[in-house]
Structure 1
């Protein structure tokens, strides 16, 4: 009868802990024998490529995360070279953490609302004025239509109102989908420009991480457990390894 079993060997509670021989360094704590981030990243890279060749995308994604994480933690690389990895890890978990990307998007939108409400929106919408001269003998009238620059004044406490926050919300929502709100702004023009590039990027990272997570869940194998034929009272998990009794 063919039956698959999974055996787990537990250490004996009376077994003595392993200690290095006298005069010889412990490989687990010796810096000379402990692999550094570069060596670990190279190992993860080889494992990732092997799993990609075997079309094991979930496993390859896990080793990709570890590979980039080792490069981020490598102190031999300058901070300027590690900074993109730091930002990439913080805002999206290397495009593998959708919740982190959505949280970063929410923080960016909230910060944009605060900045635009306090310093971006003018006190009122600028009015257009037309100036010109009317000839006494009649004829064509030439008018010049001009729009005054938006002005923001007053203390900060008076700028935080519901109507201003509502207008700011429209500006921010349009920025997320990379659209211009055509709202008259003061210094908020620079804030809107930055948000129109950063917030759609965060939304794209969240979508990419969600797609990667969906593919991982669909492709991850599961073990089926059913009663063993020889002992109905017990259960055993059947895997691809079998032995003959």
Structure 2
């Protein structure tokens, strides 16, 4: 009779040191979401604060302040841009010219993210492009404090927004695995930050601009963008 064979040991379910090395522990979470979402929430909130804060002041600043005798002539490009527009659409009053500038600014803000996305995909990557965009916008807001630099400041803000906007939104989705049901909720939380920033901006920047001085309002927008960059 052949000797009885002892049963083979059951496979071990405990992972060895090499298994732990292959599967790093999950990163920390905050309220059921990756901590990175809180960072992106705060960054976007302060960016929207700066954007809507400056936008709330732009037309009023041009109509009430820069249109005074002797000021408009000191703004770089004011005469050339107004002359070019009047060739196309006829004579422009101060209010109409300010509205054209506002329209060009907001239109280009929504066009340049195409370039920012290409820049991130082909050259810099998302994080570096976001940092570049935030830095440009912070510089642009502080440039707005000098009336002679109005149009260079607006151009700097447009380029900064183009680099910033498409890439921070994409990073929200990148925090989650494909098919993770939390991704939809994450975007809802992210857009709450947009609305909070947009709500506070006119109250803070608008009040400072009307009471303390236009440059204080633009400076507050710049401080908001620095907080977002930080």
Say yes or no: TM over 0.5. Answer: no
Between 1 and 2, higher relative CO (CA 8 Å, sep ≥ 6) is seen in 2
Higher strand share: 1
Higher helix share: 2
Q: What TM-score do you get using the length of structure 1 for normalisation? A: 0.29
